[in-house]
Structure 1
Amino acid sequence: MFRPYPIFIGLRYTAAKRSNHFISFISLTSMIGLTLGVAVLITVMSVMNGFDRELKERILGMVPHAVIKHYGNLEDWQSIDKLATQRPDIVAAAPFIKAQGMVTHGGGVRGILMNGILPEEEDDVSIISQHMVTGSIFDLKAGEFGIIIGNLLASYLRVDVGDKITIVLPEASITPAGVFPRLKRFTVKGVFKVGADLDSSLTLVHMNDAAKVLRLNDEVHGIRLKMIDLFKAPMIANEIAKDLPTGYFSSDWTRTHGNLFQAIKMEKTMIGLLLMMIVAVAAFNIVSTLVMVVTDKKADIAILRTMGASPSAIMTIFIMQGTFIGLIGNLLGTVAGILLSLNVSSIIKWVETIAGHQFLNADVYFISYLPSQLLWSDVIMVCGAGFAMSVLATIYPAWRASKVDPAEALRYE
């Protein structure tokens, strides 16, 4: 089979055993460095993608995509609910009552966010049903004063299904004995776990029970909306609020949690650029490798020139040699990065088990494990950038090789 001789010689130089073992060592180091750089970059970008995905699915699956509120309380919320669900870009809507307070049991006290919900409607706008550890949101019955709490809160208070806890609201009740905070005993009906900080602060009660505790009549605090495209939530919620009478306004996830997604996006970009510098350093180690090879092969270059090889053919030989090193390094790094990205969650979990320490605590971070999402677009971008830098790194040494003077190189041979 015909092979152009510059490519053939370049590959022979790459695979040949050298008398100068230092050159072989530098060549191997360049390849390993490139492999590690590409693998780490693909893995880190996959982890950042995983954090972004988990925030969207878990956090935005629990918190509203958008809400419609009134400067007072909503009285005729049923009509607004119906108006919202008529839009094709809204999946579902559900009323809610929200209050902040504290929960206490057995001497333990914790700040909470109490959400009053209608279980049958909440199931359409939230992922809570998919993450119940014990019980169900449909166990919340009007008048029974049941409550569903997160697993971290349950662990802190040392309670389980059937135990009673006390909710303390920051509203005073005037009694003959004086002014006291508003208290109400609730029975734990279920425990959920979404793997986020909501596990330690969010509680759910039936909307009718929340209305009684807060002394509301048939009023609610707002209507929660679930969108088909959550990135259109600000525009859609604003349009609905404009169609309603004066006094209504909208809010959406970009105001409450948008900074998290911006932070993840910025961190992914900055970390990607920093790690790309590692890939660049490894790629440009090929320069030193080829410079030493050119110095070592001056006699061979001179002989090829005297046999009629053109300067461009000499350049092709060394470009081919450096490109082959970069190609192997990139391919090995890509394979290693893909394998690490697909298994990094299991690896970290295994390390946590061995070390007896949890690296991501849900009390501190939004999720309690290391997520990963491999995107082929990232793989192609990283592999392509690494290979391009490898090829660029070969140009200067190859140009130096093409400028070797045959007479000067063979003078002392």
Structure 2
Amino acid sequence: MVSVAIITAAIIVILSIFNGLGDLLRSLNDSFDPEIKIEAALGKSFPVNEVLLKKVQGVQGVEAVTEVIEDYAFARYNQANQPVTIKGVSDNFITQQRIPEDKIIDGALKLRDNNINYALIGYGVGAALSIDLRNDFFPLQLYYVKNVKAGSLDPSQMYTQKNITPGGIFSIVQNFDERYIIVPLKFAEELLNYGNKRTALEIKLKKGADVTRTQRALKDVLGESFKVLNSEEQHEDLYRVLHLEKFFASIASVILLIIGSINIYFNLMMLAIDKKKDISVLAACGADAGLLKRIFIMEGILIALIGTVVGLAAGALIVFVQQKYGLVSMGMEASVVEGYPVQLKLTDFLYVSGAMLLITTLISSRPALLASRFASVQNL
């Protein structure tokens, strides 16, 4: 029982860690990523006009549509240089609170003020470029390499360059902070030479709208020329790795459960041998082989059940203490959360309980068969 309880508790803790990491990734990505994102099925951009925007806005559940131009560029500030990702967004990006006020660690949350364009800069980019928001002497210079024809000798024709005033520094998660500079859509359109093309349309849903239903409706309206992605599909590779890791952890947990059940197997085998005389007495009293099989199988199930219940309770208690007090830290100074993220899920409890009972029932059949043979010998 003790071995089953320890293994069960360990499995619950391990699975809860994967749950916690998944929830943490979703919360971090959801704070910056849209609920639904529309991209071109082929290529990296597509033309956007009023007809297309009205189609999207007319879908039930859609509250706002943000036009996005996103591409790589080169940033220069004073004497520092850094490759960055420029994200040009329409004006409603700010009003949607896609970057909460508490994520602005310096400056102000703004992209335009009195016809002046401002850039919101990721903390990692700002640190690499040594940007000082209180120094107006140096503008942020952004360069974009154009597709030029072969044989061009004029260097100025190979790129476009525009200056913008740094307006604020944001910090969301390292992956975003070290890459992104957010600018007004019109500024990005001119810098990146996109014209009426956009790399994405980002959708904000109405309160209470069903994501899956709205996503399906958008796919029906837009057809095969567009990809309509929910929040998890926008980071498909990342979540696929996480699900794969949890899958293999689940397989490993089954192996651990089998190891724990081997103790039950040997216990029942020794019990069958030790209780040989008692089995003979039961057989003499009229107990048939089926009854003796059931006795030993129920014995195995009882051991597994008590051990599993104790293990589930212990695992849940460990996870609760970790959630409440964060006793085990991430071990990194720059981590987003101090304590290791954990999350209990009912499906994990059902999975472990079902697997343990199934394995125990199967593994108890051999000792039960041995006991029934002792009864058969006595009857002879």
Q: Same fold (TM over 0.5)?
A: yes
Distance in structure 2 (CA, Å) of the matches to 1:35 and 1:203: 51
Cα 1:328/1:108, change in 2 over 3 Å: farther
**Hey, what does 2:222 align to over in structure 1?**
241
1:181-220 maps to which residues of 2 (within 5 A)? Answer: 181-195=159-173, 197-214=175-192
Please say if residues 119 and 138 of structure 1, whose CA atoms lie closer than 8 Å, have aligned partners that are also in contact: no
* Aligned residue identity for 1:38: T
**Hey, what does 1:83 align to over in structure 2?**
55
Unmatched segments (≥5 aa) in structure 1? 1-30, 243-247, 409-413
- Secondary structure, aligned partner of 1:139: coil
**Hey, what does 2:228 align to over in structure 1?**
252
Please say if residues 123 and 129 of structure 1, whose CA atoms lie closer than 8 Å, have aligned partners that are also in contact: no
Unmatched segments (≥5 aa) in structure 2? none
**1:23-57 superposed Cα distances (whole Å, 9 cap, x missing partner):** xxxxxxxx333223322333333333344444444
Shift of 1:240: 3.2
- Secondary structure, aligned partner of 2:100: helix
Cα 1:345/1:301, change in 2 over 3 Å: same
Q: Does 1:262 align with 2:237?
A: no
Please say if residues 129 and 137 of structure 1, whose CA atoms lie closer than 8 Å, have aligned partners that are also in contact: no
Cα 1:226/1:136, change in 2 over 3 Å: farther
Cα 1:376/1:339, change in 2 over 3 Å: same
Distance in structure 1 (CA, Å) of the matches to 2:361 and 2:281: 26
* Aligned residue identity for 1:375: K
Aligned partner of 1:272 among 250, 253, 258: 250
**Hey, what does 1:66 align to over in structure 2?**
37
**Hey, what does 2:103 align to over in structure 1?**
132
**1:236-290 superposed Cα distances (whole Å, 9 cap, x missing partner):** 4443335xxxxx9423337753333334333333331232121122123211111
Distance in structure 1 (CA, Å) of the matches to 2:242 and 2:49: 39
Distance in structure 2 (CA, Å) of the matches to 1:160 and 1:324: 68
Q: Does 1:302 align with 2:273?
A: no
**Hey, what does 1:166 align to over in structure 2?**
141
Cα 1:42/1:109, change in 2 over 3 Å: farther
Please say if residues 145 and 186 of structure 1, whose CA atoms lie closer than 8 Å, have aligned partners that are also in contact: yes
Aligned partner of 2:348 among 378, 384, 387: 378
- Secondary structure, aligned partner of 1:208: helix
* Aligned residue identity for 2:143: V
Cα 1:240/1:307, change in 2 over 3 Å: closer
* Aligned residue identity for 1:115: K
Cα 1:212/1:178, change in 2 over 3 Å: closer
1:101-120 maps to which residues of 2 (within 5 A)? Answer: 101-105=73-77, 108-120=80-92
* Aligned residue identity for 1:252: V
- Secondary structure, aligned partner of 2:112: coil
Please say if residues 20 and 342 of structure 2, whose CA atoms lie closer than 8 Å, have aligned partners that are also in contact: yes
**Hey, what does 2:14 align to over in structure 1?**
44
Aligned partner of 2:121 among 134, 149, 162: 149
Cα 1:240/1:343, change in 2 over 3 Å: farther
Cα 1:121/1:158, change in 2 over 3 Å: closer
Distance in structure 2 (CA, Å) of the matches to 1:237 and 1:274: 40
Please say if residues 68 and 241 of structure 1, whose CA atoms lie closer than 8 Å, have aligned partners that are also in contact: no
Distance in structure 2 (CA, Å) of the matches to 1:259 and 1:45: 20
Calculate the TM-score normalised by the size of structure 1: 0.71
Distance in structure 1 (CA, Å) of the matches to 2:117 and 2:359: 65
Please say if residues 303 and 406 of structure 1, whose CA atoms lie closer than 8 Å, have aligned partners that are also in contact: no
* Aligned residue identity for 2:184: H
Percent identical across equivalent pairs? 19
Please say if residues 326 and 338 of structure 2, whose CA atoms lie closer than 8 Å, have aligned partners that are also in contact: no
